[in-house]
Amino acid sequence: MKILVVWDQPLQIELLQVYLGLGDHEVSWADTPDELLALAEAPSWDIVLMPITLPDVERGFQTFSQLRNLCPDTPVVGVCEPQEVFRIVRFMTNGMSAYMIRDANSDYLFMVLNVLEATVEAAQAAREQEIVKRLREEIDAVRKLQETMIPPLIDAPHGYQMCARYEPSQLRVMGGRPVTMAGGDYYDVFNLDDNSIVFLVGDASGHGMKAAMSIMIMHTLVRMIRTQSYKDTAAFVAAINNQLVEQTIVNEEGGFITLLYAILRLDTHEIQWTSAGHPLPLLQDLDTGEIRPIVDGDPSGLPLAVVPGAEYETITSPLPPRCRILLYTDGLAEAFPEGSDDVVSQFGEKGIMRVLQETTGLPVSGTMERLFHDSNEFTQGYGRHDDTSVVLVERLKV
């Protein structure tokens, strides 16, 4: 701790030097206000100790005010006589961090070092709280911007039910207060033409601001080129990948984005889709109760932004009457209680299938509610550590 001291009672200086010398502290001394201010121009003082009468209260307050201008972030501890204690209010209301009252026997000197150390710790804690507050505000701003990309309502065409949902991750911090994080999950649903509906679910690697910015970049690219003519979903995903490879904010430090891009053809009731490293959709037969990945094996290509020119596969899957298809990010499956992050302890695909089986009689909105509720309950109150996006589509029997 670097301590700057100005003192007005020479007979106490030697004793004070002994007390302040306890511990690994660097102490610098000034005899006058001018010397104090000259030393204060040097950087990195942890704390300043000064009498408020230097040599009188008015001059002391002037010195204190100049000191605050020179070192606005450095805490100052004042010392005053018992009969001057009422004057300390003026100093405290203008930024003095703490004060001590001189007693007749100078016993207060025994406490000086403890007061200085406690004041520095309190100032550091206050600075950290302010930083946390500002970071929280920045995260909230990014998260709100991210949420504007997600469509609030989905209009299902005749013969279908559809719903989608996004939830940011929530972490419990000291005191149990949940912190809602910015993240890299994303979904979008839009009409490509009168006969085609696009479903898109993406997940940027990592968490926080970088992941959120990565997914915003992808969203912008998708919206820019979605009206261009692509023969199939694989060509579209390849074009997005080649654009993202050039985006440093996405791929720095090994960053990437997984993507499931699908087009529902309303005339044929087929879904054409391409996966770039993303979990495969689940297909549910509502009559038999069977739930399985939409295709055998795993035709997923590389995640986006890994290598230029990556090739992807287009898969076409029929959607028979009375079936549901679930597109989701791994945050839904990877929910786990605190301290149990292995695969066995996760909500997993097993938990997802259980909910789908138990909710066949509910509308898709009811199933969606259960998926998020049960996944979150599985964490035993700690909340999912990853944000989550889910799109659920049902073809009715018409």
Looking at residue 75, its pLDDT comes to 94
Looking at residue 143, its pLDDT comes to 67
Mind listing the pLDDT tens digit for each residue in 233-244? 999 999 999 999
Is the pLDDT reported for residue 251 higher than 90?
A: no
Looking at residue 175, its pLDDT comes to 46
Q: How many CA atoms lie within 13 A of 70 on its CB side?
A: 20
Mind listing the pLDDT tens digit for each residue in 135-181? 777 667 666 776 777 787 788 999 999 999 988 876 544 445 555 55
Name which of 87-91, 96-100, 105-109, 326-330 the model is least confident about. Answer: 105-109
Name which of 39-53, 213-227, 322-336 the model is least confident about. Answer: 213-227
Between these two residues, 221 and 291, which has the higher pLDDT value?
291
Looking at residue 343, its pLDDT comes to 61
Amino acid at 208: G
d(CA 217, CA 203): 12
Between these two residues, 136 and 257, which has the higher pLDDT value?
257
Helix (H) or strand (E) holding 67: helix 57-70
Looking at residue 318, its pLDDT comes to 95
Between these two residues, 143 and 22, which has the higher pLDDT value?
22
Backbone angles phi, psi at 23, to 5 degrees: 90, 175
Domains 2-127 and 149-395 share a fold: no
Contact 394, 161 (CB under 8 A): yes
Protein fold of 149-395: Phosphatase 2c; domain 1 (3.60.40)
Confidence of residue 43 (pLDDT cuts 50, 70, 90): low
378 burial class (0-12, 13-18, 19+ CB within 10 angstroms)? middle
Q: How far is CA 372 from CA 203, 270, 352, in A?
A: 17, 27, 10
Between these two residues, 262 and 12, which has the higher pLDDT value?
262
Mind listing the pLDDT tens digit for each residue in 204-232? 987 777 787 888 888 888 888 877 767 78
Say whether 171 sits in a helix, a strand or coil. Answer: strand
Domains in the chain: boundaries: 2-127, 149-395
The token pair at 97 is 């961090």
pTM value is: 0.68
The token pair at 378 is 């599985």
Which residue bears the tokens 């009457």? 321
Work out the average pLDDT over 23-27. Answer: 82
Work out the average pLDDT over 291-318. Answer: 94
Looking at residue 161, its pLDDT comes to 96
Work out the average pLDDT over 50-70. Answer: 91
Mean pLDDT of all residues belonging to the chain: 87
Looking at residue 340, its pLDDT comes to 64
Confidence of residue 21 (pLDDT cuts 50, 70, 90): confident
Say whether 243 sits in a helix, a strand or coil. Answer: helix
Mind listing the pLDDT tens digit for each residue in 334-350? 888 876 666 667 898 99
For the residues of 1-31, what is the DSSP string, one character each? -EEEEE-S-HHHHHHHHHHHTSSS-EEEEES
Is the pLDDT reported for residue 186 higher than 90?
A: no
Helices 208-225, 233-244: inter-axial angle, 10-degree rounding:
130
Over pLDDT 90: what percentage of the chain?
A: 50
Looking at residue 324, its pLDDT comes to 97
Looking at residue 368, its pLDDT comes to 96
Q: Is the peptide bond before 55 cis (omega within 30 degrees of 0)?
A: yes
Is the pLDDT reported for residue 369 higher than 90?
A: yes
d(CA 334, CA 343): 8
d(CA 20, CA 188): 63
Residue length of the chain: 398
Name which of 61-65, 74-78, 129-133 the model is least confident about. Answer: 129-133
Mind listing the pLDDT tens digit for each residue in 104-119? 888 888 888 899 999 9
Looking at residue 118, its pLDDT comes to 92
What is the CATH code for 2-127? 3.40.50.2300
